[in-house]
Amino acid sequence: MATNPVKITDTTFRDGHQSLLATRLRLEDMEPVASQMDKIGFHSMEVWGGATFDATTRFLAEDPWERLRRFRELIPNTPLSMLLRGQSLVGYRNYADDVVGEFVKRSAENGIDIFRVFDALNDEWNLTCAAESVKSSGKHLQMAICYSVTESGRMGGPIYNLEYFVKKAKQFESMGADSLCIKDMAGLLAPYDAFDLISELKRQVSVPLQLHTHYTSGMASMTALKAIEAGVDIVDAALAPLALRTSQPAVEPLVVSLTGGNRDTGIDLNRLLEVGDYFESMLPKYNHHMASPRFAVIDARVLSHQIPGGMASNLNSQLREADAIDKLSEVLEEIPETRKDLGYPPLVTPISQMVGSQAVSNVLFGRYKMISDQVKEYVFGMYGRAPSKVNPEVISAALSGYDKGSHPISERPADHIKPEIETAKAAVSDITDDIDDVLIYALYPTTGMKFLRIKHGLDPVPEEMKADLADKPNNLSTLTGLSRPEKSASVRAFNVFIDDSYFKVEVDPTDGSSFTTAGVSSNERNNTSPEKSELSPGNGTLSSPMPGILLHYIVEVGQRVEVGDPIAVLEAMKMENTLPSPIGGTVESLSVEPGAIVVKGEVLAIISPQ
């Protein structure tokens, strides 16, 4: 018998598919093996939180609350864990205290046992409300420290040194943490740094320690082993089919490596292999959701640019949709500069999205010529305190004309946010009075409302939200009653990109004719259009500078506007961007329905000159 067995938290049902499959794994494909996984003997299973809440409502037409309740039914013996972004919950901004308290309460009542609570800036101001709410619910509070490095690539330097992490750990322990987690979202924690960090934390704090790391850089398995040698209590891992790459280390080799020693996990390898076989046979239908087309299993460049895997896949998708994938290398060079300008924040949601989207804007439109609303709020202090000084020039650019003020605040951000629950209840009162539905809207007013209308039968399920026909046991010819024809010699393959999904589609002309590009312009062949000066004054047409969702208009038809006045709010890369009027004049037309998906260059408004 092992004298000090390592405990394992399985991440397959949450971070595993969030990292590798863009969070698209459907509940129907997890249900068949959930009960088997419950019997394996994991310390806990991470099944909820992170991006799963957003993805289920935005892309899958699934109720995230129902998903959690179903997991609780199928997994009665293993504690269920979720990832909570502190005051940001499972969204991309800080919410009011009443929303935080109600969300934690409902999460606990619906089945969560362990709340892993973190803040993207490791700022305790953004953790107090969530931590107190978890403790009030009687559930396990695990407070996470986001691991980061500065420019050195290793622990140390003026910001992210051993003293920094020890200070945060002791601070979080004093806030009532039942356990602590080192959250290494980009796989930057080097093995010997892990040994030193865990060893010192074991001396300085008394609560259990857990390690969460990603395989992105290739160090994760070595890092986990050195952390185990240093005495870490719990390690995150995923079943092999959803491990490695940008996910966690695989649990199977970890279990075998520790067999027979004093840290033997006690987990039966055969049970792991049996469940792994199920995923191995089921997952190919999700191939088009694979986050990275890389041939290499690891991305060694992350040791330089420090970008988490999910952030990297978002960048690729956004640049491809904007016909600017050739700018990727420039964006990767810009990200460290943008991060430095913003005070070296850890690159974790939602800050990683802010830094990434701002870097894209800096490359495409000029440095800080277009600043997302979230970056403005960050600079103002609404996301908490940056680890280091923010560039004064960026502060000036971001807060110029900012409606909340021109000088950053120095208080707890949530103290500046009015209660939001009652407003959310009123907004959905003609659809539902279910508090779980109210919380969906409170977190995502635009996409949440779209989902609620679908859930309650007011709108049909969009085709893009339905399970792909390829996911079903019957193919299209069976469903339509048509016989499947043989492929002809004229069949051609095309790559189709929709949001962050990729499809390889074969097209075969029914008349047997062959494809030709004769007589087709280069723009038509490449599906491109001439560049537009969406952000340049003098043009009365306001076009979308990038793909996204038009959230709402700020003006009305017939309204007089000046150059630079806000016209519309566009969500792109999960960030909100207020688009200014290119000229002074009168709003002649607003051509897109709020909530609609728009492509780059799509006309959003026309302003007649004065």
φ, ψ of residue 404 in degrees (nearest 5): -90, -15
Across 329-347, average pLDDT: 92
> CA 95 from chain center: how many Å?
17
Task: Report long-range pairs for 373-380 (Cβ below 8 Å, ≥24 apart).
Answer: 373/569, 373/575, 373/576, 373/577, 373/578, 374/92, 374/93, 374/350, 374/575, 374/576, 375/342, 375/575, 376/402, 377/93, 377/404, 378/342, 378/351, 378/354, 379/342, 379/408, 380/404, 380/405, 380/408, 380/409
Q: Which of 71-75, 445-449, 490-494 has the lowest mean pLDDT?
A: 490-494
Eight-class DSSP state of 48: E
For residue 22, the tally of other CB atoms under 10 A from its CB is 24
pLDDT surpasses 90 at 306: no
Across 170-182, average pLDDT: 98
Report which of residues 82 and 609 the model is more confident about. Answer: 82
Partners of 140 in the beta sheet? 114
**Who contacts 239 (Cβ-Cβ below 8 Å, separation ≥6)?**
10, 12, 16, 250, 251, 252, 272, 275, 276, 279
Q: CA-CA distance, 262 to 265, in Å (whole number)?
A: 9
Tell me the pLDDT tens digit for each residue of 51-69: 999 999 999 999 999 999 9
Position 518 scores a pLDDT of 36
Instruction: Report helix angle 31-38 to 269-282, nearest 10.
Output: 170
Q: CA-CA distance, 473 to 366, in Å (whole number)?
A: 49
Q: Which of 21-30, 64-73, 502-511, 585-594 has the lowest mean pLDDT?
A: 502-511
Q: Tell the residue number behind the tokens 């969070």, with chain if given.
A: 23
Q: Taking the CA of residue 406 as centre, how many other CA atoms within 13 Å lie in the half-sphere pointing to its CB?
A: 5
E strand or H helix at 80: strand 80-84
Q: CA-CA distance, 90 to 86, in Å (whole number)?
A: 8
Tell me the pLDDT tens digit for each residue of 88-103: 999 988 999 999 999 9
First CA to last CA across the chain, in angstroms? 83
Q: CA-CA distance, 452 to 108, in Å (whole number)?
A: 22
Q: CA-CA distance, 164 to 499, in Å (whole number)?
A: 39
**Who contacts 164 (Cβ-Cβ below 8 Å, separation ≥6)?**
none
Q: CA-CA distance, 324 to 251, in Å (whole number)?
A: 38
310 falls in which pLDDT band (50, 70, 90)?
Answer: low
Whether 118 and 85 have beta carbons less than 8 Å apart is answered as yes
86 falls in which pLDDT band (50, 70, 90)?
Answer: very high
Q: CA-CA distance, 440 to 62, in Å (whole number)?
A: 12
Q: CA-CA distance, 194 to 200, in Å (whole number)?
A: 10
Whether 372 and 575 have beta carbons less than 8 Å apart is answered as yes
Whether 451 and 57 have beta carbons less than 8 Å apart is answered as yes
DSSP H helical segments within 265-408, as ranges? Answer: 269-282, 302-305, 309-321, 328-341, 351-365, 373-380, 392-399
Q: Tell the residue number behind the tokens 């289920």, with chain if given.
A: 56
Tell me the pLDDT tens digit for each residue of 483-535: 445 555 555 656 565 544 545 566 666 555 544 433 333 333 233 333 333 44
Domains and CATH numbers, the chain: 7-289 (3.20.20.70), 307-410 (1.10.472), 472-518 (no CATH), 541-609 (2.40.50.100)
Tell me the pLDDT tens digit for each residue of 178-227: 999 999 999 999 999 999 999 999 999 999 999 999 999 999 999 999 99
Tell me the pLDDT tens digit for each residue of 525-568: 233 333 333 444 456 899 998 888 898 899 999 999 998 888 99
Q: CA-CA distance, 20 to 240, in Å (whole number)?
A: 12
pLDDT surpasses 90 at 475: no
Whether 289 and 21 have beta carbons less than 8 Å apart is answered as yes
